[in-house]
A and B are shown apart, each in its own frame.
Chain A
Amino acid sequence: DIQMTQYPSSVSASVGDRVTITCRASQGVSNRLAWYQQKPGKVPKLLIYAASTLQSGVPSRFSGSGSGTDFTLTISSLQPEDFATYYCQQAKSYPYTFGQGTRLEIK
């Protein structure tokens, strides 16, 4: 299985801050990576797929980059509604695997 490791596990930030979350794959996944946002008690929401393609309707302050084993999700200017847990997921090979999540909290 491809292991997905996210850094950091949690981060505190303020509204307006720029935040970057990292996801590292245990082996290359090309650009077969997605990012999801999940708020407490809610369903995961696809933000970015194919490493850098913004899902329709997702604000442009979210961006993704990377290829191979190292990927980043960047939120350029945090908004109150962005405080949530973020997960990466690889779709290079079965079984699909998710990272352990990064919790983004209000400072």
Chain B
Amino acid sequence: QITLKESGPTLVNPTQTLTLTCTFSGFSLTTSEEAVGWIRQSPGKALEWLALIYWSDEKRYRPSLKSTFTITKDTSKNQVVLTMTNMDPVDTATYYCAHRIQGFFDYWGQGTLVTVSS
């Protein structure tokens, strides 16, 4: 059974760096074709794909955010980490990590609400 869970701060100040960790089980990011993505959802808004990391360590980012986002993996801990620099109030959202299959997301974490405010 695949499970994922996000963790990290719930409140960050503007301009700070946010680090979110996705801890997963039921699959391995050392297995070919496996990937984990991050998606966010601002309050009352639609879903927005942010980044993706493959078993091969290939990484993909939303172009408009590429300069501020970094995605990494720690296969020994079954974790994927998303780092976002220079946080802004518009980045206030629920952040989800999800397991990718054929480009789609079949298992999602519960999400973590991050508020950017001073």
Check A95/B47 contact, CB under 8 A, given A43-B110, A44-B108, A55-B106.
Answer: no
Check A98/B47 contact, CB under 8 A, given A49-B104, A91-B104.
Answer: yes
A95, B103: Cβ atoms closer than 8 Å: no
Minimum C-beta distance from B107 to chain A (A): 8
Query: Chain B interface residue count: which class?
Result: 20 to 34
Q: Is the interface of A mostly helix, strand, loop or mixed?
A: loop
Minimum C-beta distance from B35 to chain A (A): 11
Check A34/B104 contact, CB under 8 A, given A94-B60, A95-B63.
Answer: yes
Minimum C-beta distance from B43 to chain A (A): 11
Q: Mark B95-109, 1 if CB is under 8 A from A, else 0.
A: 010000111111011
- Measured in the bound complex, the distance between the Cα atoms of B96 and A92 in whole Å is 21
Chain A positions within 8 Å of B46 at CB level: 87, 98-101
A89, B108: Cβ atoms closer than 8 Å: no
A32 — nearest CB in chain B belongs to which residue? B103
Chain A positions within 8 Å of B63 at CB level: 1, 95
* Most chain A beta carbons < 10 A, residue from B37, B49, B101: B49
B110 — nearest CB in chain A belongs to which residue? A43
- Measured in the bound complex, the distance between the Cα atoms of B16 and A106 in whole Å is 42
Partner of A98, one of B49, B60, B106: B49
The count of residues in chain A whose C-beta lies closer than 8 Å to any C-beta of chain B is 24
B60 — nearest CB in chain A belongs to which residue? A94
* In the complex, A14 has a CB within 8 A of chain B: no
- Measured in the bound complex, the distance between the Cα atoms of B101 and A107 in whole Å is 35
- Measured in the bound complex, the distance between the Cα atoms of B104 and A97 in whole Å is 11
B50 — nearest CB in chain A belongs to which residue? A95
B62, A46: Cβ atoms closer than 8 Å: no
Check A89/B104 contact, CB under 8 A, given A43-B96, A44-B47, A100-B46.
Answer: yes
B37 — nearest CB in chain A belongs to which residue? A96
| Extra inter-chain contacts (9) besides given A44-B47, A46-B106, CB under 8 Å | A1-B63, A38-B47, A49-B101, A55-B106, A91-B103, A91-B104, A96-B52, A100-B46, A101-B47
